[in-house]
Amino acid sequence: MVTESRLSGTPMEKAPEPELGTELIPAERYTSEEYRQLEWDRMWTKVWNWAGRLQDIPNPGDYFTFELGSESILIVRETEDKIRAFYNVCPHRGNQIRNAGIGHAETFQCAYHFFEFDLQGHLVCVPDEYTFTQGVPTETGLVELPCDTWGGTVWINMNEDCESLEEFLGVIPEHLDPYHFEDMYMVQDRTIEWDTNWKASVDAFNEVYHVQGIHPQILESLDDINVQIDLYERHNRYLVPFGLVSPRYPNQDEITSSLKGMMLTAGIDPETFDGNMADVRPAMQKATREKAEAAGMDFSDLNDDQMTDDYHYYIFPNLTFNTHAGGFMMFRQRPHPTDPNKMFYDLQNFALIPAVVPHNGADADAGQRSSVEPPPRPKHETYKHGEVSLGLGLDQDSYNLPRVQRGMGSKAYKGLLINYRERRIRHMHKTLDDYIEGPDR
């Protein structure tokens, strides 16, 4: 388990800028079957992958599956303190032990020939074992792979000689532990098969340069110019100020309708607000903290900017976090197992639930408080591209990405021309190069 470091606060220092070059990023990385296979062999099977939430397996025998590329991984809680991960395949004839999803089992019995395995993956029953004249090797069982936990989440690695999860995550726990991810509950769980390469989806969320073109409506509520970008060893972030208008917005003194909506969410009535545009952001930060404290939520590990801003983190290779004080939106971009022009976009939203609320309307200071029941786990929904609305902003990205993918396949297109504000994309490709071209991991 990764050591928690929740008390120091999220570091704010600007990271040194690495030299990443200026050359084109070849389009073939997004369209080539050969490169898709190279990524699988050299990167996907060597990195730590976010598999799922510990909240989905609270009791011994609880399990869920994680699908990545051509592999299905079975995650099970063996005991209160022990999580195991196995390849979801029976060693007898290759049948998958469990269908995709969440469940509970005292043992894992293959539905094909009833080979049975305990929660440690050991083979405990072979029907008609005497018919195997060659014998059944005593070590036959489910094949285990490394797993670990951080932030209330189970991570797996298909490389049995991998580095530790703590080494892989680097600065991430120090930066994100103050948000208390382990105390947040999933409130939305969707997977959409998008008609684009997984990297094109990562790229779309790793820069704000496109906001003026695709998301003009959000120029009314954030600063897309003065964004701090920090590039670390493998992972990166940008810090996007919310609660003000973009420098591109024509009226810098206007408290826009978008800002008024944010003020209402924070607990401020914009119609009676006694202040100008410069007062809106600090007022929302103060009101958000006070509202959280009244609801029993502890934001003491977070700074004032974290009351309003999007601390946007990218964990290589495929996790995007829009992180806010009361919750986070996570995008997981999974590669399609056979087609570089498709991917699986996992959209999961998490919310911090108040620990206590006033009981029977009593005043909070009276001490009559009761625990809040966590929300039920949302059903996992799956869709094809365009079958469901994800909200205006994500719909705008979703509409654009297939067009990007088709354009990358054009004879006329040579590669990505990256500017300074898009350097998180170049940093991701540099990290990808480290896996594909560097020493075996």
The answer to whether the CB of 328 falls within 8 A of the CB of 187 is no
Around 110, how many Cα atoms within 13 Å sit in the side-chain half-sphere? Answer: 24
Helix, strand, coil: what percent of the chain each, to 5? 30, 25, 45
Do residues 53 and 41 share a domain? no
- Kindly state whether residues 125 and 243 are assigned to the same domain: no
Q: At what angle do helices 198-205 and 423-437 cross, to 10 degrees?
A: 140
- pLDDT tens-place string over residues 15-58: 999 999 999 999 999 999 999 999 999 999 999 999 999 999 99
Report pLDDT for 356. Answer: 45
CATH number of residue 94's parent domain: 2.102.10.10
CATH number, domain of 178, equals: 3.90.380.10
pLDDT at residue 396, rounded to an integer: 95
At residue 232, the 3 state secondary structure works out as coil
- Same domain for 104 and 5: no
Mean pLDDT of all residues in the chain? 93
Cis bond leading into 11, ω under 30°?
no
List, in order, residues 6 or more apart from 409 with CB less than 8 Å away. Answer: 27, 31, 341
Distances (CA, A) of 352 to 325, 374, 421: 8, 9, 32
Q: Count up the domains in the chain and report the number.
A: 2
- Quick check: is 167 in a domain? no
The answer to whether residue 166 is domain-embedded is no
Within its chain, how far is the Cα of 397 from the centroid? 17
Q: Pick from 139, 161, 183: which residue ends a domain?
A: 161
The predicted-structure confidence for 399-424, as pLDDT tens digits, reads as follows 999 999 999 999 999 999 999 999 99
The domain of 39 spans 1-45+172-441
Region of 49 (left: φ > 0; alpha: ψ -120 to 50; beta: rest) is beta
| 283/397 same-domain check | yes
Shared domain check, 294 and 245: yes
Q: Tell whether 53 and 6 lie within a shared domain.
A: no
pLDDT in tens, 57-84: 999 999 999 999 999 999 999 999 999 9
Same domain, 133 and 40: no
Instruction: Pick the closest to residue 169 from 349, 3, 329, 335 (CA basis).
Output: 3
Same domain, 189 and 216: yes
Q: Are residues 227 and 299 in the same domain?
A: yes
Q: What is the DSSP string of 266-302?
A: HT--TTT--S-HHHHHHHHHHHHHHHHHHTT---TTS
